[in-house]
Amino acid sequence: MKSKINKIKAVDFFCGGGGMSFGLQEAGVDVLAGIDYEVACRKTYEANITNAKFIHADVFELKEVDLQHSLKLKKNDDNLILIGCSPCQFWSIINTDKKKSEKSKSLLVEFERFVKYFNPGYVVVENVPGVLRRKKESGLEQFINWLETNQYNVHFEIHNTSDYGVPQNRKRFTLVASRVGEKKIFPRKVKQQKTVRDVIGVKNGFPEIKAGHQDDSDFLHSVRNVTSLTLKRLKKVGHDGGNRLDFSRDPELQLACFLNKDNSFKDTFGRLWWDRPAPTITTKFFSVSNGRFVHPNEDRALSLREGATLQSFPKSYKFHGSSHDSIARQIGNAVPPEYAKQIGLAIIENINNGKL
């Protein structure tokens, strides 16, 4: 069994800090390389992804033949997985500057170029649900048509990662295509969802801290500071799921932008629930005003390590960055490793079933 698993290899386009690569390695896949334009991800990727090469490249300029020579890849390799988890700000429903993210809307098309060249046994794409809602504009429709025309069995669907071992409600578009075997491949679901209580809190190795606490160790239990007025607001927010409505009747604490708008953005200043999966961990999970990112009972936002843990990174995962924001971006943009692992295990099972 192990010899078969070791033959499966992958190249991870838009690898970021390595969430997908790490999960695949945990499943038993040999990750050859991660490719990313953001050089800031290199140190994190190389610190955690064993024996994989970090290729700093702009996919718009990267040539297929150069990648082939660099990694000694073969065309039509049944045991090769090409993965494309491209940055997705342009197709996200979250308010972002679409002009800044304009270039990212064509990344799936660029990834398709490599798939056509190598014709790998397996293709994986993970992205925001928006690429499916606007599948013609995003290039997804054309890509799926090409895969099916070229004898790939294609599964694509919006999955919630909380069904796959991640303690977080995170809806993601996922495509798994295979031209090996006759069945479609589905990520493997787990029997029971994990909740916030299962992974963070004092009993899970997260000591109580206050807003502004800085942890210079690799554990990075560091948290953004808040103003005295914000701290007053947080003290009013009920433990275990409270939100900004808990201070909305206090003239000193109510935010002017929410006057007479009790039904708008209620998650702002909201606490996580202990016994539910966390909300989607975005790149701004360190801020109490950017979503439901307040600790269930401590008066502060989530720490860097708590955000990473809710993304299903192990506590031993080492993050490197020039700032708190830089590390938070790597965490929030990552594919949750546990979800990636379930994708990898499903592919391995498909390969092994075909060889038994």
Task: Supply the pLDDT for residue 139.
Answer: 84
Question: SS3 for 54?
Answer: strand
Given a cut of 90, whether residue 297 has pLDDT beyond it is yes
Burial of 258 (0-12, 13-18, 19+ CB in 10 A): middle
Residue 135 pLDDT: 80
CA distance linking residue 39 with residue 162, whole number of Å: 30
pLDDT digits (tens, 9 = 90+) for 221-266: 999 999 999 999 999 999 999 998 898 888 889 787 766 666 666 7
* Cβ-contact 187, 159 below 8 angstroms: yes
pLDDT for 1 equals 37
SS3 253: coil
Q: What percent of the chain has pLDDT over 90?
A: 77
- On whether the 2-190+333-355 domain is CATH 3.40.50.150, my answer is yes
Among 15, 41, 85, 88, which one carries the catalytic annotation? 88
Whether 15 is a known active-site residue: answer no
Assess whether pLDDT exceeds 60 at residue 93: no
Report the length, in residues, of the chain: 356
pLDDT (0 to 100) of residue 261: 63
pLDDT (0 to 100) of residue 264: 65
pLDDT in tens, 319-336: 999 999 999 999 999 999
pLDDT, tens digit, 9 for 90 and up, residues 125-184: 999 888 888 787 888 899 999 999 999 999 999 999 999 999 999 999 999 999 998 889
Q: Which letter does DSSP use for residue 121 in this model?
A: S
Average pLDDT over residues 182-199: 95
Question: Distance between CA atoms of 94 and 23, rounded to whole angstroms?
Answer: 26
DSSP letters along 186-204, please?
-PPPPSS---HHHHSSGGG
Provide the whole-model pTM: 0.92
Q: Please state the φ and ψ torsions of residue 170, each to the nearest 5 degrees.
A: -140, 105
**Per-residue model confidence (pLDDT) at position 4:** 43
Q: What is the pLDDT of residue 87?
A: 77
Q: Where are the domains of the chain?
A: 2-190+333-355
